[in-house]
Amino acid sequence: NSALVGPSEGVRLRFLDRRNDQEVEFVIIIGKQGSDISPDDALDYIAGYTLGLDMSLRGPEDRSFRKSIDGYAPLGPWMVTADEIADPDNVPFKGFVNDELRQDAHTKDLIYGIRRLIEFASACYTIYPGDVYFTGSPAGVGRVKPGDVIRAECDLIGAMEVPVQAHQ
């Protein structure tokens, strides 16, 4: 929970001596509890969608120790309800750093489509209302530093600008 912040709070880099990368991702917000959900029923469990930054700290530690650092998962600009996106497996989105296009992505290119992701996750554990699933990061991930501005945008959701700062 401490990783999630709003876009205006920005990302506060805690490890300036290491590489910190931006990863713009399409995010699912769960609306109903379930487990062992079939792909045919998966979309019934979604409350809505948003965009997120799944910031990554690079280093020798296992990935689980380099993700979800305090403030490293901004969400926004807001949630659109599930009925506003007819096919979540057909959504283009983009990521910019200082107005340079770094990620030109599409949910159709994800390793697991949205329905399969919910099927897989719910086979492992119960999903609950309010759970958020970052769906994966397309090509274009790259280093950011204090002073940069990350922009995530999707025509179906909106855009958010996230300032990158040093942790105080």
pLDDT at 151 over 90: yes
pLDDT computed for residue 1 by the predictor: 81
Q: Phi/psi of residue 147, each to 5°? A: 100, -20
What span, in angstroms and rounded, lies between the C-alpha atoms of 83 and 49?
10
What span, in angstroms and rounded, lies between the C-alpha atoms of 11 and 14?
9
pLDDT computed for residue 139 by the predictor: 82
The pLDDT tens digits for 66-99 are: 778 889 999 999 999 999 999 999 999 999 999 9
The pLDDT tens digits for 14-69 are: 989 988 999 999 999 999 999 999 999 999 999 999 999 989 888 766 666 677 88
pLDDT computed for residue 123 by the predictor: 97
